[in-house]
């Protein structure tokens, strides 16, 4: 059995080397992780040396270092943000008690479930994105894809560390199962729906990292409030890395839009077929991709009314986004929140106990945050002098979870009949033709400083390197 040199191989601030049981557990898991990476990690990338950011500490001034590394040799570190000895539970029924350094027996099953569900998304996205390297629009983008992939791998390590350290044998079994489920697998799929969808092309990838990694941000932020202190501290640090993933999505979509608008102005046309013939992605197609990724992602927040959400909050396991900044009593008993329902073919607001609506509260926070970035995309369109606006669809559009599941709804939020849905669905969601067209643009462009025709170059490079820097060395 291989012995892990913790300082060299797994940079950490949790004294990994001092805990024999934990060491043994991780030593058994580590080769399975590498096998998983080789099997379903980025395809054809084994010998590439990639200019990657590696977390080496939690110092906000210099938490990472950059350098060319082979991804399978990436140093998947384990970091917890610094603890605060006086930290208290600040929401739910245990307000004012000391936070937990270990798992209280009565919350064990729920905490394990929360950690496993979060952990499962990390390898899932690596699996979803594994073919994208073959069609990268530039070396810069290829590097960003790989950066996200290794950091999702590190996030898996972060959750596996908690499972191994705090959940004994069941934790080890769950950690093994995290390497066994596969995105999209009929028999053993990943836990959450959006993580079983394909990410077949780079427009989908940018939408995914904009919307779905942002779901990650909100889930992690809610867990960063947890009374289970090791979970709070590890998710807080994960958020540092998550910001880059969303940047890749936001700037990626922005660059696609920018290039499309440039060609629209050159050709003086908004005709989708003419633009497609010129090799760029027409704005209506971008809007349909947006509609799809947005609706699939907001399902991830779960049912609008959920007794689990209430339990997780009241028992201190999972807070709200920015819990500490809210002015209410942080207990929420007797408070209400509005959710949506369809009654007699009309959407109506319904007042429900807030504790049961905490998934909806988090979803609404996510929606506010998403809309802000879409407005920044619209600035790119407006700057080009084009009178089109991208919008997020109504939150009841194309939902599969909660009270709104399966309701036929236009993106503007009008309940529609089966007939209208069938007639207009193809203008609202990406069609097989849209996807085939976008796929047809996906050729590999990886010479330094070159970019595919359908996307504008970024404004600047990574870590103050030039845009034409050799971000990936192909060996």
Minimum CB distance to Fe ion, residue 148 (Å) = 6
What is the rounded (10 degree) CA torsion for 401, 365, 114, 244? 110
For the CB of residue 216, give the shortest distance to Fe ion in the complex, in Å: 5
- How far is Cα 380 from Cα 141, in angstroms, rounded to an integer? 20
Q: What is the DSSP letter of 209?
A: I
Distances (CA, A) of 365 to 50, 246, 298, 361: 35, 16, 11, 6
Pair of tokens at residue 181: 């489920």
Nearer to Fe ion, 124 or 452 (CB): 124
Distance CA 204, CA 44 (A): 21
User: Is the CB of 247 or the CB of 469 nearer to Fe ion?
Assistant: 247
Least separation in angstroms between residue 39's CB and Fe ion is: 20
CB-nearer residue toward Fe ion: 241 or 304: 241
| C-alpha torsion angle, residues 239, 243, 244, 247 (rounded to 10) | 160
Q: Does 94 bind Fe ion (CB under 5 A)?
A: no
CB 275 within 8 A of CB 434: no
* Positions 334 through 373 that interact with Fe ion (CB under 5 A): none
Question: Which CB sits closer to Fe ion, 129 or 356?
Answer: 129
Least separation in angstroms between residue 57's CB and Fe ion is 19
SS3 135: helix
Residue closer to Fe ion by CB (options 239, 429) is: 239
- The one segment of 33-41, 240-248, 350-358, 387-395 that binds Fe ion by CB under 5 A: 240-248
| Binder of Fe ion out of 201, 213, 323, 364 (CB under 5 A) | 213
Binding of Fe ion by 166 (CB under 5 A): no
- In this structure, the number of other CB atoms found within 10 A of the CB of residue 358 comes to 27
Residue 156 or 374: which CB sits closer to Fe ion?
156
By CB under 5 A, which span of 197-205, 214-222, 286-294, 341-349 interacts with Fe ion?
214-222
Calpha distance 33→437 (Å, rounded): 36
Stretch that binds Fe ion, among 180-188, 198-206, 210-218, 380-388 (CB under 5 A): 210-218
| Cβ distance to Fe ion smaller for residue 128 or 258 | 128
The one-character DSSP state at 226 is -
DSSP codes, 28-50: HHHHHHHHHHHHHSSTT-TT-EE
List phi, psi (to 5°) of 222: -70, -35
Closest separation between CB of residue 152 and Fe ion, Å?
Answer: 5
Counting residues that bind Fe ion (by CB under 5 A) gives: 7
> Min. distance of Cβ 82 from Fe ion in angstroms?
21
Site for Fe ion contains 155 (CB under 5 A):
yes
* Residue 245 in the binding site for Fe ion (CB under 5 A): yes
Residue 215 binds to Fe ion (criterion: CB under 5 A): no
Site string for Fe ion, 124-153 (x = CB under 5 A): ----------------------------x-
Distance CA 360, CA 309 (A): 10
Q: How many CB atoms lie within 10 A of CB 8?
A: 8
Contacting Fe ion within 277-316 (CB under 5 A): none
Nearer to Fe ion, 58 or 274 (CB): 58
Q: Pick from 391, 146, 133, 126: which is nearest to 244 by CA?
A: 146
Q: Structure tokens of 188? A: 């053993």
Shorter beta-carbon distance to Fe ion: residue 149 or 254: 149
- For the chain, the residue count is 475
Residues of this chain that interact with Fe ion (CB under 5 A) are 122, 152, 155, 213, 216, 242, 245
């Amino acid at each position: 059995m291989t012995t892990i040199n913790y300082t060299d191989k797994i940079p950490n601030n949790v004294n990994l080397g001092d805990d024999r049981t934990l060491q043994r557990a991780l030593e058994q898991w580590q080769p399975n992780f590498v096998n998983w990476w080789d099997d379903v990690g980025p395809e054809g990338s084994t010998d590439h040396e990639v200019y990657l950011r590696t977390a080496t500490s939690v110092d906000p001034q210099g938490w990472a270092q950059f350098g060319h590394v082979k991804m399978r040799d990436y140093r998947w570190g384990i970091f917890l943000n610094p603890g605060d000895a006086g930290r208290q539970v600040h929401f739910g029924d245990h307000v004012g008690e000391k936070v937990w350094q270990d798992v209280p027996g009565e919350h064990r099953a729920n905490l394990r479930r929360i950690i496993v569900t979060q952990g499962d998304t990390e390898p899932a996205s690596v699996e979803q994105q594994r073919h994208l390297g073959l069609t990268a629009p530039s070396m810069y983008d290829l590097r960003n894809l790989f950066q996200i992939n290794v950091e999702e791998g590190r996030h898996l390590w972060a959750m596996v560390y908690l499972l191994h350290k705090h959940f004994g044998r069941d934790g080890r079994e769950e950690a093994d199962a995290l390497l066994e489920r596969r995105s999209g697998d009929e028999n053993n799929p990943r836990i959450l729906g959006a993580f079983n969808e394909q990410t077949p092309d780079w427009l989908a990838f940018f939408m995914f990292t904009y919307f779905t990694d942002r779901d990650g941000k909100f889930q992690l932020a809610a867990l960063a409030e947890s009374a289970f202190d090791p979970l709070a501290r590890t998710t807080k640090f994960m958020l540092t890395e998550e910001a880059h993933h969303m940047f890749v999505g936001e700037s990626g979509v922005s660059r696609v839009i920018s290039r499309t608008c440039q060609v629209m102005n050159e050709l003086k046309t908004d005709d989708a077929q003419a633009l497609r013939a010129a090799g760029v992605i027409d704005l209506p197609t971008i809007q349909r991709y947006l509609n799809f990724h947005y609706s699939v992602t907001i399902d991830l927040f779960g049912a609008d009314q959920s007794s689990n959400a209430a339990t997780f909050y009241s028992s201190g396991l999972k807070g709200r986004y920015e819990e500490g900044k809210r002015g209410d009593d942080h207990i929420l008993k007797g408070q209400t929140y509005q959710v949506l329902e369809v009654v007699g073919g009309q959407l109506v607001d319904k007042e429900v106990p807030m504790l049961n609506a905490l998934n909806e509260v988090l979803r609404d926070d996510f929606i506010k945050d998403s809309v802000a970035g879409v407005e920044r995309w619209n600035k790119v369109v407006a700057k080009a002098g084009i009178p089109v606006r991208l919008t997020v669809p109504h939150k009841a559009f194309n939902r599969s979870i909660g009270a709104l599941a399966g309701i036929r709804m236009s993106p503007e939020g009008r309940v529609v009949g089966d007939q209208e849905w069938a007639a207009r669905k193809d203008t609202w969601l990406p069609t097989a033709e849209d996807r085939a067209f976008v796929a047809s643009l996906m050729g590999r462009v990886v010479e330094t400083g070159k970019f595919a025709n359908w996307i504008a170059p970024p404004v600047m490079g990574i870590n103050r390197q030039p845009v034409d820097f050799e971000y990936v060395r192909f060996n």
